[in-house]
Structure 1
């Protein structure tokens, strides 16, 4: 009160007296009048009627204005702090969020797979329209169409340097396209007796491995196109095959509701992973960077410090679940439930903190590996999401070095990955997700 002038004091006291009188607080009115020694006669038309309320509401309005300004200021501060330089430093934990940066249109049927070039800003997409399309993911521009297959193209995969692109199709052929030489189709492999679902380069790029509806997995020599080995183990359509980083294991999955860990040298099944209640659509080996989080999730003691590639595997199934496995014991470590439809694609976050999944429920989900919680759901497409890929992980010259150094914490690798994700859908579009 000491900050008020005598006139303001008197005005305030009379406003309070008027308020007390108007609200029939007679005792309070008389007490205040006696204590202040003010001569005041209430007057229904006087200047003090409603004055206290007016002043009070104007204070509240000012407070609201101040709060709005403070919020706006905080938002602007955050925007400034997220300048490109700051943004890059905060990006290691980036995960996709709507809306997508680009929606790539051009395919005339559903998109089946997407793959990033390991060094250039290129993305390859395969479709049931029998073509492969090449896009520049930085600009969202279409580059070219690769024609050669006569039926649905089911998978696309670059070699480690990005010199060659392998594709496979329901037309029973695998094709190799020479990226340096105008993307010419330089090799065609035959050998499967039914639709081919999956193709990958083996580490070292000397061989490719494929999986088919003929229930087999086959390994071919890239240079000669000769069949090196036929692996029989699954009792039904083999949906996906994936080599471990060191090439010492293959993971595969099938309509027979199992996933398998196979020795590519002799074709023997090392471990059979049983637990899904429907077709297993996809397998993904966990990167070394994810080991710590997976061990925390599964309660595996910290004494386990193995840096062996291929120790853990994620599987996604039509039973709507994702399961994490120990590949050596075949033990299921965790079941991740949350999708409302088939799980079609899985990709580990390069930091090893998250697992991303795509599903026929139109979403991409982000799972925190250390807790097993779904921390984000992105409404991704207007139809089933069929495929998902993370952008290039590291410049090619350090690719092998980073792997053989066994960077367990993933520090070295994490520095070099590029934040970009692509998804494809039955809605015939590819979406590019960028920070």
Structure 2
């Protein structure tokens, strides 16, 4: 098992409210943040101090997703719908009024955009026709997070009713499984790069490992002190990073399911409040985190054998 060394490279500022959304660009040198101030900002890992305003909306932005094949950014605009930004031209292409609810997560799959809303509805948007194809009511509670297994053609959704629902993308969103075990809202969800595992994290501070061959629960870890807000994999599939309302970021060995490193304020000059999203950059191997403290941190993570 490797030892992990952590070095904080940058603290980025510019947002005027809690930062909720974070996603990597088609060119992973760039990443995008969205916040309670309605601002969506593009950042360049080669010149991280120079954020560029992409959009300014009247309501909070909880969800961002990049369609890599088209190089467009999908912005979830709370209580409204989605805005589609051409990242080549930095201009809005189109928008769609979808909901009067919060939009907690967005995923792009082929020609479709999946939008998860605060009233438990999955909205399927067709990109070519710029129109709604389908509404699927999954729960009376919020859809908080989604994950796509592209090869398995499956969509996992974490909900505030404590469940994880698995839908078949090859068969008109037919339900495959309903996973129970968390005892609070599921906020974090991700398929491993090889799609053999689905890992979930919830407001109950537990991390669960599900075997995707039959969606049986393989392991449960009490991973944080408070809610697990998000998780992200290193692209080699060996490591997992989680972030929490407990203000910490944790690095895990995926195979051994062991905690390797805690990144926090006391040890690493980490965030002072809830860490809301984290991604493991496929460009630099750095970890990017965003927080209620209105800052973005960029961390150099190195495994030392």
TM-score relative to the length of structure 2: 0.90
- In terms of mean alpha carbon deviation, does 321-330 or 424-433 score higher? 321-330
Partner of residue 432, structure 1: 298
Unaligned runs of 5+ in 2: 265-269
CA distance 1:108–1:162, change in 2 (3 Å): farther
Distance, in Å, in 2 between the alignment partners of 1:313 and 1:192 is 29
- Is the 8 Å Cα contact of residues 79 and 99 (structure 2) preserved in structure 1? no
- Pick the structure with greater CA Rg: 1
Matches within 5 A, 1:201-212: 201-202=108-109, 204=110, 206-212=111-117
Aligned residues of 1:109 and 1:129 also touching (Cα < 8 A): yes
CA–CA separation in structure 2 for the residues paired with 1:358 and 1:96: 17
CA 1:117/1:154 → structure 2, altered by over 3 Å: closer, same or farther? same
Q: What is the match of residue 206 of structure 2?
A: 321
Distance in 2, Cα, partners of 1:145 & 1:96: 33
Q: Provide the residue aligned with 2:276 in structure 1.
A: 386
Tell whether the 8 Å contact from 2:233 to 2:279 is kept in structure 1 after alignment: no
CA distance in 1, matches of 2:55, 2:232: 28
Please name the residue that 1:116 is paired with.
24
Offset, 1:112: 0.4
Q: Quote the residue 1:349 is aligned against.
A: 234
| Deviation of the 1:145 alpha carbon | 1.2
Aligned to 2:107: 200
Pick from 199, 218, 243: which aligns with 1:333?
A: 218
Partner of 1:266: 172
Higher strand share: 2
| Distance in 1 of aligned mates of 2:75 and 2:246 | 27
**Residue 91 of structure 2: which of 184, 191, 207 is its match?**
184
Q: Aligned residue for 1:140?
A: 48
Query: How many pairs were matched up?
Result: 294
Distance, in Å, in 1 between the alignment partners of 2:105 and 2:239 is: 24
2:267 aligned partner: none
In structure 2, the partner of 1:9 is none
TM-score, normalization: structure 1? 0.64
Residue 327 of structure 1 and its aligned partner are, at CA, apart by 3.2
User: What's the counterpart of residue 172 of structure 1?
Assistant: 80
Give 1:118 shift.
2.9
CA apart distance, 1:247: 6.8
Q: How far does residue 172 in structure 1 lie from its aligned partner after superposition?
A: 2.2
Question: 1 or 2 for the larger relative contact order (CA 8 Å, sep ≥6)?
Answer: 2
- C-alpha deviation, 1:94, in angstroms: 9.3
What is the aligned partner in structure 2 of residue 277 from structure 1?
183
CA–CA distance in structure 2, aligned partners of residues 179 and 375 of structure 1: 37
Cα displacement string for residues 200-232 of structure 1 (whole angstroms, at most 9, x for unaligned residues): 111x3x211110012111111112211122222
The answer to whether the aligner puts 1:422 opposite 2:269 as a matched pair is no
The 8 Å contact of residues 117 and 162 in structure 1, kept in 2 or not, is answered as no
In structure 2, what is the Cα distance between the partners aligned to 1:370 and 1:135? 32
The yes-or-no answer on 1:249 pairing with 2:154 is yes
